[in-house]
Chains A and B, each alone.
Chain A
Amino acid sequence: MVRNVCERAEILAGAIALGEATDNERAEYRGHIASCSSCVESLGGEREIERVMASVARARDMETWEPVIAPPWHVAARSRNRAWRMGAMAAGIALVASVGVHAFVAYGLSAAKPTPVNPIVIDYDGQHLTLERRAPVIKHAAVPKARSAHMVVVHNVIHLEAPRTVVVGESARKPVPPATIHVVRTVIAQTTVAASNIPIWRRDPAGAATANAAASAQMPPPLEHRAESMAVAAPPTIREVEPVGGDAAIDPVPPMIAYAEGANGTTAFELAVDGRGIPTKCTITKASGYLVLDHAVCKAAMKARFLPREINGRGVPSVYRDAFTFRSNGND
């Protein structure tokens, strides 16, 4: 109640300060402060209230500050111009970034895009081979299936044998299989009409001459009638991809289950090799029928390192193709 009365006194004091109080309100205020010491102390009498208010009015009357502001439409136009400038700046930045990204993408694509390469013709010992050199194919999903039909050249044959060791030609003992099993690598150089998958580095004339001596009777006639074979020769500045370490570079180690199953089959694969000679992707182009053999081949191939294909001394991405034939002992 007291609080309400004092709040009422505050309202009356405010009315007195604003000069809005009626005589009755002034009388009411005087009556309240006569009996309320706290209100007298805090609010003061009528004269005190009017004195404070008069000082405020005096300060107002003595103000000399007269600012001049610009018309609002100028400000609005300035803000619009600023918005346009900001928008134009953002559009310019976006344009430059877009051009930069497009240039980068275009350059990257042109750098990665395979350059068309003409076939290579190799003549040795009366054998005329045309190597169809495909440009590097990075995405192996696009590898045509028809190529696997030509993959009849067997380069490496791995015999999965029991302790009885048979060595044909150059051989090497494999350390990985258990002591009771020997893996003997035999390099058999065979050639077919469709020799497009034979890596060039395997085509040394000396080795091929001996290997082809017995099979020369079955060799087809040289393909002189092919215009491109006469027109195109291997540029001397091009070096094809080849594994570092020769035949032993890719060393597939079949798991034990392959021996237990007596796995046979030929695994042909393609290996994408980047410009530094590091394999980036292995694709099985012809499966052996045993997943473990295919996995062993790819695993070994990805571990190998290559001398990259070089054009004018500059390493370029390329594709290395090879095949391994696994024959378990007693199956051949």
Chain B
Amino acid sequence: MEEVYLAVRDSAAVNARIELLVRDYQTRIARYLRRMVGDSEVALDLTQEVFLAAFRMLKQHPERPLTAGWLYKTATNGAISHLRRKKIVRMIPLERDPDTRSWRIDEQSAVSVDLQAAIGQLPPEQASAVLLTSYAGYSSQEAAAVLGTSADAVRQRVCRAMKTLRSIMTEQ
């Protein structure tokens, strides 16, 4: 299911490829990142960084094939880094509470808001495993390749995430 983008040679081709990539994946990557970090603005910033990193990588190494998995992997790493920084900032405490208003404006379903609250309590590794498999539609094998782990580990993370989600969503 993973699209493989062929190597491109010149800068015009790089721009065209990136434009196509942005058009195809910006929504998916942004939604995935919004679920991961729980904030629309941060998700947009991280999405921009993902495509900027792809653009720079292709400019520097035009011969390298760029896959959707690379985008998700970069997005996951960016989100985890952000969550770690956020954790540090929260200890200080300087940051405002997570903004859930954007969710309520965008989402008509209470399920979506509840799901976001539950995902926010998951460890980043479990959240990324759940979102890569459910949101991005990857199999456990493909998600394992993105996360750099084994398929069984992804299944186990999904199972543990399901346990947490079930307990939280049952309480609500």
Please tell me if the beta carbons of A13 and B34 are within 8 angstroms of each other in the complex: no
CB within 8 Å for A10 and B47 given contacts A60-B135, A69-B26, A72-B52: no
Q: Which residues of B contact A65 (CB under 8 A)?
A: 27, 30-31, 34, 40, 106-107
Does B76 lie at the interface of the complex (its beta carbon under 8 Å from any beta carbon of A)? no
Looking at A46-54, A121-129, A268-276, the stretch in contact with chain B turns out to be A46-54
Please tell me if the beta carbons of A76 and B115 are within 8 angstroms of each other in the complex: no
Assign chain A's interface to a size class.
35 or more
A12 CA to B135 CA, complexed, in Å: 20
Q: Which residues of A contact B162 (CB under 8 A)?
A: 13-14, 17, 43, 49, 52-53
Does B8 lie at the interface of the complex (its beta carbon under 8 Å from any beta carbon of A)? no
Does A59 lie at the interface of the complex (its beta carbon under 8 Å from any beta carbon of B)? yes
Assign chain B's interface to a size class.
35 or more
Please tell me if the beta carbons of B27 and A17 are within 8 angstroms of each other in the complex: no
A13 CA to B156 CA, complexed, in Å: 8
Q: Give chain A nearest CB distance to B167 CB in angstroms.
A: 9
Does B169 lie at the interface of the complex (its beta carbon under 8 Å from any beta carbon of A)? yes
Please tell me if the beta carbons of A18 and B140 are within 8 angstroms of each other in the complex: yes
Please tell me if the beta carbons of A69 and B55 are within 8 angstroms of each other in the complex: no
Q: Which residues of B contact A12 (CB under 8 A)?
A: 155
Please tell me if the beta carbons of B155 and A64 are within 8 angstroms of each other in the complex: no
A84 CA to B11 CA, complexed, in Å: 22
Q: Which residues of A contact B84 (CB under 8 A)?
A: none
Does B160 lie at the interface of the complex (its beta carbon under 8 Å from any beta carbon of A)? yes
Does A67 lie at the interface of the complex (its beta carbon under 8 Å from any beta carbon of B)? yes
Q: Give chain A nearest CB distance to B46 CB in angstroms.
A: 10
* Of A48, A60, A75, A76, most B-chain CB atoms within 10 Å: A60
Does B147 lie at the interface of the complex (its beta carbon under 8 Å from any beta carbon of A)? no
Does B82 lie at the interface of the complex (its beta carbon under 8 Å from any beta carbon of A)? no
- Contact partner, B22, options A15, A42, A53, A69, Cβ 8 Å: A69
Q: Which residues of B contact A67 (CB under 8 A)?
A: 26-27, 30, 40, 43-44, 47
Does A7 lie at the interface of the complex (its beta carbon under 8 Å from any beta carbon of B)? yes
Q: Which residues of A contact B34 (CB under 8 A)?
A: 65
Q: Which residues of B contact A58 (CB under 8 A)?
A: 109, 111
Does A56 lie at the interface of the complex (its beta carbon under 8 Å from any beta carbon of B)? yes
CB within 8 Å for A56 and B165 given contacts A14-B156, A14-B159, A64-B107: yes
Please tell me if the beta carbons of A73 and B166 are within 8 angstroms of each other in the complex: no
Please tell me if the beta carbons of B106 and A64 are within 8 angstroms of each other in the complex: yes
Please tell me if the beta carbons of A72 and B55 are within 8 angstroms of each other in the complex: yes
- Contact partner, A75, options B48, B109, B111, Cβ 8 Å: B48
- Contact partner, A55, options B56, B155, B169, Cβ 8 Å: B169
Does B157 lie at the interface of the complex (its beta carbon under 8 Å from any beta carbon of A)? yes
- Contact partner, A69, options B40, B48, B56, B112, Cβ 8 Å: B48
A-B contact pairs, 10 of them (CB 8 A): A11-B152, A15-B140, A52-B162, A52-B166, A59-B115, A62-B108, A65-B34, A68-B26, A73-B55, A76-B55
B residues near A, CB below 8 A?
15, 18-19, 22, 26-27, 30-31, 34, 40, 43-44, 47-48, 51-52, 54-56, 106-109, 111-112, 115-116, 130, 133-135, 139-140, 152, 154-160, 162-163, 165-166, 169
